[in-house]
Amino acid sequence: MVQTLNAHGLLNATDSATSSSLVGSSPGETGAGGLRGSESYEHRTTELGTRRDRVRGISVTTPTLLANRCNELLTQGFQFFVVASQPNLDRFDLRPFGMPVTPLPFLAPDRHSWSTDVFLRLFNSMNAQAFGPRGLELPNWVLVDNVLLSSGLFIAACDPQRLDMIAEALPLTPEERGVLARLVGEASATGYAGPIPVAAYCAAPTADRDRWVGWSLTSVVPRSGLAFVTKGLALRTYGAATLVGVTQYDNLALRIHTKFGPARIEAARVGLHTAPNTLVYATDVCRWLDGRADRGPGATPTWLVSAADAERHAEMQQMLDARTHTLMILPPGIIIQDDECVVPVLVTDYADPKIHP
Ligand SMILES: CC(C)(COP(=O)(O)OP(=O)(O)OC[C@H]1O[C@@H](n2cnc3c(N)ncnc32)[C@H](O)[C@@H]1OP(=O)(O)O)[C@@H](O)C(=O)NCCC(=O)NCCS
């Protein structure tokens, strides 16, 4: 008996004969590369079988699931904002999936009893706490020039009193509670009594207006679904058809990214990036919106790729450069075993994304 992942990334128990046929489609059989025996999927999933309860399977979600989760978060007291220059706000859908999103026009006089500037500074403190360990803080000039004026920043926030109650009720670690306490402390030190940013996301359009590039997915109320909902609402607000994102092979955010469907790898390594083990992926948002992503490519991963496996990353990059194969990260995006994160990747014959979106 071995464990395999089904199309939704959930662990299945199958007999080894069936499993072999499911996992045997190595790139070698389709024209290039080949599985390295000791790292074959079957081998790794047998290991995973002993740790089944530690592996969280996450299926591709639907807009309805997202709206339901969003309603729960609204009931708990979270609110969603988009901060941008007015011309950008004019082009955004401020009722994504029918959910309320409050526009905050950057550079306009404050519309609330609290300051938008302080709200943004608190966002950046939160962002620095989340991204600091990877060296990815956001300088304020980048926030102004490349976020607020170029696109719009999506923020989930919560009133301080409510946040205290929520933090009390959630199973957070002392470190996670400390992050929230520091944000509330920073707000009160400036006399600010408005909502405290606790999650955020931003994407900006490219030369192709349907194709957006996203970054800075953050949440400091972990495991609450806030990051997933914030990203989903933002994509709808922008009207993005394709989302290009940058992440790392060991970033838990892959759990969220693949909730919107398999992530097609566009670059398997990005040496120039500040963070090591970086990759570029693309999500077909339209497919997710109309329910086609839920079917995904319907396959078991060919490889479980480790963040440390530079050799595999280089091999994948060669396959992309040669256009011989398409590489898809399947849900749940990341599987954690012991201290190692592995990414389930499906390798298929090359398909032009423009012809086969
Ligand atoms: C990555 C990050 C945004 C996730 O935030 P989050 O609030 O936990 O996200 P969500 O609540 O939407 O959770 C998404 C999924 O990941 C799972 N998850 C989150 N943390 C986990 C952990 N430590 N172990 C296992 N699963 C975890 C959640 O359970 C959830 O799965 P589920 O919906 O099936 O239960 C957050 O950890 C973060 O801000 N990290 C630092 C900044 C960063 O690197 N961002 C990514 C840039 S690409």
Residue indicated by tokens 């256009």: 323
- The answer to whether 130 and 220 have CB atoms below 8 angstroms apart is yes
Please say if the pLDDT value at position 59 is more than 80.
no
Tell me what pLDDT residue 150 has. Answer: 95
254 CA: nearest ligand 1 atom: 48
Q: Please give the model's pTM, rounded to 2 decimal places.
A: 0.84
**In Å, what is the CA distance from 54 to each residue of 45, 50, 213, 259?**
13, 9, 32, 19
Alpha carbon nearest to ligand 1 atom 27, residue: 223
Rounded distance from Cα 267 to ligand 1 centre (Å): 23
pLDDT band per the 50, 70, 90 thresholds, residue 220: very high
276 or 234, which is more confident?
A: 234
Q: Which two tokens stand for residue 157?
A: 């926030």
Rounded distance from Cα 170 to ligand 1 centre (Å): 15
Please say if the pLDDT value at position 31 is more than 60.
no
Residue 342 β-bridge partners = 306, 335
Strands 196-205 and 211-219: antiparallel
Tell me what pLDDT residue 340 has. Answer: 85
Rounded distance from Cα 256 to ligand 1 centre (Å): 7
Per residue in 168-208, pLDDT (tens digit) is: 889 999 999 999 999 999 999 999 999 999 999 999 999 99
Please say if the pLDDT value at position 320 is more than 90.
yes
Q: Measuring CA to CA, which residue among 33, 74, 119 is closest to residue 233?
A: 74
245 CA: nearest ligand 1 atom: 48
